[in-house]
C-alpha cells in the first residue's frame, strides 16, 4: 500500500496525518482499518485526519465505500481536514453519503475548526469500536 501516517495522541482525540499520491478502494479500506486500530489502541472515540491525498475515487465508488467506511469507523466521530481545495466538493459529498449510512464525519479546511467540532460533543463508542474484552471503560 502506498500511503503513510504520522500520529499524535491528544487528550480528547487522536490526530492522524495521512499522505498518499493516489488512492483506491483497497488503499482507503486499509488506512481506515489502521485508523480504527489506532483509535482502539489509544482509547479514543474522536479522530482528526489530515487527508493529504490530492485525488478522490470515482463517484460510482462512493455509495458502497461510504457504507463500508461507516462500519469501520462506527462510533468514532471523525473530522477530516482537506488541504486540497480542488476536491473539497467531492469529499463533502462522500461525507454526506457516509453520514447517511451511520458515520459521524465532517470535512474542514483546517485543523482549528476540526478540533473545535470534535470538542463540541462526545460521540458514543460502540462495541465494534471499543470491545468490552479489551478493558476500555468510557464515561460519555
Question: For the chain, how many structural domains are there in total?
Answer: 1
Give the list of residues 6+ apart from residue 118 with CB closer than 8 angstroms, or none: 12, 13, 46, 48, 77, 79
Fill in the DSSP letter of residue 1. -
111 domain-assigned? yes
Boundaries of domain holding 31: 4-134
pLDDT single digits (tens) 1-21? 689 999 999 989 999 999 999
Q: Where are the alpha helices (DSSP H) in 3-110?
A: 25-42, 62-72, 88-99
Q: How far apart are CA 22 and CA 87, in angstroms?
A: 13
70 domain-assigned? yes
Instruction: Give the pLDDT confidence score for residue 1 in this predicted structure.
Output: 60
Residue 113 maps to which CATH number? Answer: 3.30.750.24
140 domain-assigned? no
139 domain-assigned? no
Q: How far apart are CA 2 and CA 23, in angstroms?
A: 8
Nine cell digits for residue 128: 465494534
Fill in the DSSP letter of residue 105. E
Instruction: Give the pLDDT confidence score for residue 33 in this predicted structure.
Output: 97
96 domain-assigned? yes
16 domain-assigned? yes
Q: How far apart are CA 94 and CA 35, in angstroms?
A: 18
pLDDT single digits (tens) 46-90? 999 999 999 999 988 888 999 999 999 999 999 999 999 999 999
Q: How far apart are CA 85 and CA 61, in angstroms?
A: 21
Amino acid at each position: 500500500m502506498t500511503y503513510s501516517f504520522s500520529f499524535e495522541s491528544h487528550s480528547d482525540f487522536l490526530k492522524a496525518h495521512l499522505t498518499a499520491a493516489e488512492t483506491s478502494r483497497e488503499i482507503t479500506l486499509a488506512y481506515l482499518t489502521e485508523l480504527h486500530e489506532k483509535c482502539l489502541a489509544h482509547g479514543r472515540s474522536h479522530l482528526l485526519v489530515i487527508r493529504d491525498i490530492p485525488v478522490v475515487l470515482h463517484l460510482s465508488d462512493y455509495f458502497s465505500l461510504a457504507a463500508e467506511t461507516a462500519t469501520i469507523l462506527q462510533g468514532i466521530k471523525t473530522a477530516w481536514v482537506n488541504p486540497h481545495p480542488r476536491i473539497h466538493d467531492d469529499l463533502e459529498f462522500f461525507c454526506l453519503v457516509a453520514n447517511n449510512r451511520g458515520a459521524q464525519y465532517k470535512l474542514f479546511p483546517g485543523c482549528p475548526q476540526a478540533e473545535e467540532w470534535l470538542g463540541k460533543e462526545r460521540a458514543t463508542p460502540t462495541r465494534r469500536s471499543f470491545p468490552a474484552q479489551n478493558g476500555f471503560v468510557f464515561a460519555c
